A = this chain, B = another copy of it.
Amino acid sequence: MRRPDVNLLATDEMPAVGTDAAQALKLWVVLARAHAAITDRATADVARHGLTLAEFGILEALYHKGPMLLGEVQRRILVSSGGITYLVDRLVQRGLLERRLCAEDRRARYAALTEAGRALVERIFPEHAEMIRQALSGLSSTEQATAIGLLRTLGKSVG
């Protein structure tokens, strides 16, 4: 058992690769490792409440933004179109979410929290936020700000 996630490249001694490519590969490796480590912790945390990270992401988004079209939610949590249907189905079955018609576009559907869903988020979100804070506390506030800037730039330039 143990650990989901991405591949990892040998960090040293890579013949036939320029030094700039080697640096980029190393960045990709440490990024993937950090992501995997945090994902592990966050996954375990929300699993205590029977939720996937993706499911938690949906609940949290709806809590902070209010009802959203399925497509908006999909783009926000980064799943496929089939995936959002599947995830919302499950949350609806558990009584945490409901689908609502969209008056302006009859193809579209809103997802909205039920009372139970709202109550769940209010109960677990603060703990989860605290867990994340704790997990990332190896970086000072200044360092975190720097990292946010760099990763934001990176994310935009890759996409």
Q: Which A residues are within 8 Å of any B CB, using their own CB?
A: 1-10, 13-14, 16-18, 20-28, 30-39, 41-42, 53-54, 56-58, 60-61, 63-65, 74, 76-82, 125-126, 129-130, 132-133, 135-139, 141, 143-148, 150-159
11 A-B Cβ contacts within 8 A? A4-B80, A7-B53, A9-B64, A23-B144, A27-B144, A27-B148, A31-B38, A33-B78, A33-B155, A136-B154, A139-B150
Interface centre among A8, A36, A148, A152 (most CB of B within 10 A): A8
Q: Is the CB of A141 within 8 A of B80?
A: no
Q: Is the CB of B30 within 8 A of A152?
A: yes
Copy number in this complex? 2
